Amino acid sequence: MTKKKLRSQEWFGGKDKMGFVHRSWMRNQGYPDDMFRGRPVIGICNTWSELTPCNGHLREFAEFVKKGVLEAGGFPLEFPVMSLGETIMRPTTMLFRNLASMDVEESIRANPLDGVVLLTGCDKTTPSCIMGACSVDIPTILVPGGPMLNGKFRGGEIGSGSFNWTIKEGQKTATFSDEDLLEAEIGAARSAGHCNTMGTASTMATMAEALGLTLPGVSSIPAVDSRKKVMTQLAGRRIVEMVNEDLTLSKILTRKAFENAIKVNAAVGGSTNLIIHLQAIAGRIGVPLHLSDFDELASHIPLLLNLMPSGKYLMEDYFYAGGISVVLKEMAKVLHQDVLTVNGKTFADNYAKAPCYNRDVIATYDRPFQENAGIAVLTGNLCENGAVIKPSAASKRLMQHTGRAVVFESMEDYHARIDDPDLDIDENCVIVLKGVGPKGYPGMPEVGNVDLPEKLILKGVKDMVRISDGRMSGTAYGTVVLHVSPESTIGGTLALVQNGDLIELDVPARRLQLLVADAELAQRRQAWQPPEPLAERGYVKIYIDNVEQADKGADLGVLVGKSGSQVDRDLH
């Protein structure tokens, strides 16, 4: 029981007609009278779906949350929201991240909820749920679904996701037979959970914990480990306490919390996708966050994890080595230790004691696996509002490179020509892909790390500079420049690049420059024609008309900020 004025009592506490209506219809599920008499109502926001393989176990997790909520004296009510399956949905889940966030926001606001537990897993389910919850700003705790067990292939281990980027090379060089690929297909994703590398899903779970939105240590526990269920039940207990304490998201998601998340992402070799999602979350909760912050705060942070795609181990190994708690302890001197987390304690309280069991997986801060591993933010005439690159996943020899542009106007153009033996391209060229930004695809897909041409793969070429206005999977690697803003579809300089132009990439100088005279670019711009609209109706039309550019988080402009939890009008 709580003395705090509960939001849910506006629905269930009335003695009038509407109080009767709200309680009466809920009783058909068998709830006893005391459930409506002052218990905090806890929503369990579940992104479970059989169409989202990474979240397929969250239906079971909801039952553990309910146990915890009941034990703490709350009233648990599970509700579904739109789920986003990265491996299934077309054209890209990023197109639907904002739509899912709207579902979460309005489901919370419209219903008698005092607090909410977010059950997430696959890439976009975590940021979309956090974004939606931020726009309501009631007590919220997140339970990440956890990574799957290590993949197995040929007696060794493979990473779900990272292995995908080797398939074309393996097929063209006869490294993989059809039987080999079937064995890998069966063994790569062999348990419940999301990708077992430090891909976007693991990055988002790490981000949530670094922001203070999870119980300590939970983000690195594998999905099928019984300790994940224990933590899920404890989260159910804790959210009731958070309601009683009125510990809302805005009290946790401060500027310091965002700075911690940016730094931690660098230390774990996290996905470039963190940038676009963290900016969108900051925009919802009202914390100023700029693209330059990611470079200024974290480009000097060392890489502490020896995990794919930047290293050799997988998430299961990471957990056995000590997990996220070890990383946060190692980073104590560069993180804000006084930030508040959902358990009511600070970073200093939560992560002061965390033994490491394998230094080949988790390095010390003073003796890291790689120096200066944070994401680099580039500027120049080719990316007036910025672009990003992940140095820890790139080839050192290509970090300063000038090459001839080979331009693809769309993904369809790329697929039609990339393996043409007559394509004028060599390993020193720069692959330029247009039309894959937020408006252009639409939805900004993870295609930035396009496969290399077959003829260069057969020569043994492993990496080339690739530039686009799209994104890259967190499981991927390569010298890939991403998130070029403004995108080509709205007339950014990327739209003006032609075959044969020289492009200079200088990551140490943070420069991406199209070596074409200003007068020539002005002439090209005058002749440029925008592409035809890709949709005339529905959500996709709304998205194209309202989506912001990558450097601002690609949220819909009308969704930035929050409306709060108050709903004054009743349904009758």
Kindly report whether the peptide bond that precedes residue 442 is cis, defined as omega within 30 degrees of 0: yes
Close Cβ partners of 347 (under 8 Å, ≥ 6 residues apart): 212, 260, 328, 332, 335, 336, 337, 338, 339, 341
CA distance 83 to 99: 10
Close Cβ partners of 532 (under 8 Å, ≥ 6 residues apart): none
- Tokens 């009008």 -> residue: 569
Is the separation of the CB atoms in 94 and 444 below 8 Å? yes
Pairing of strands 115-120, 465-468: unpaired
CA nearest neighbour of 465 among 424, 415, 406, 516: 406
Please give the domain boundaries of the chain with CATH numbers for all domains.
40-149+191-255 (3.40.50.2300), 376-531 (3.50.30.80)
pTM for the predicted model, two decimal places: 0.96
Angle at 508 between CA 506 and CA 509, to 5 degrees: 65
**Does residue 524 sit in helix, strand or coil?**
helix
Tens digit of each residue's pLDDT (9 = 90 or more) over 160-182 = 877 776 777 778 877 888 888 88
Q: What is the average pLDDT across 553-567?
A: 96
Query: Per-residue pLDDT for 3 more than 90?
Result: no
**Does residue 435 sit in helix, strand or coil?**
coil
Is the separation of the CB atoms in 107 and 136 below 8 Å? no
Percent residues over pLDDT 70 in the chain = 99
Q: Hey, what are 408's tokens?
A: 């693809």
**pLDDT value of residue 291:** 97
Q: H helices of 385-466, where? A: 411-417, 454-457
Range scoring the smallest mean pLDDT among 155-159, 387-391, 399-403: 155-159
CA distance 216 to 332: 15
Q: Hey, what are 301's tokens?
A: 């942070």
CA quadruple 328, 331, 337, 343: dihedral, nearest 10: 0
Is the separation of the CB atoms in 84 and 127 below 8 Å? no
CA nearest neighbour of 260 among 219, 302, 305, 208: 208
**pLDDT value of residue 170:** 79
Q: What is the mean pLDDT of the chain?
A: 95
Tens digit of each residue's pLDDT (9 = 90 or more) over 316-341 = 999 999 999 999 999 999 999 999 99
Question: In angstroms, what CA-CA distances link 329 with 356, 363, 364, 482?
Answer: 10, 12, 10, 31
CA nearest neighbour of 196 among 186, 188, 207, 184: 188
Bridge partner list, 401 = 505
**pLDDT value of residue 169:** 78
Query: Per-residue pLDDT for 50 more than 90?
Result: yes
Is the separation of the CB atoms in 495 and 398 below 8 Å? no
> Residue 568: which pLDDT band, with cuts at 50, 70 and 90?
confident
**Does residue 455 sit in helix, strand or coil?**
helix
CA distance 71 to 546: 44
Tens digit of each residue's pLDDT (9 = 90 or more) over 251-310 = 999 999 999 999 999 999 999 999 999 999 999 999 999 999 999 999 999 999 999 988
CA nearest neighbour of 61 among 151, 193, 150: 193
**pLDDT value of residue 181:** 84
Pairing of strands 383-389, 376-380: antiparallel
> Residue 79: which pLDDT band, with cuts at 50, 70 and 90?
very high
In three state form, how does the secondary structure of 151-186 look? Answer: EEECCEEECCCHHHHHHHHHHHCCCCCHHHHHHHHH
Q: What is the average pLDDT across 4-27?
A: 93
**pLDDT value of residue 1:** 45
**pLDDT value of residue 436:** 98
Is the separation of the CB atoms in 468 and 449 below 8 Å? no
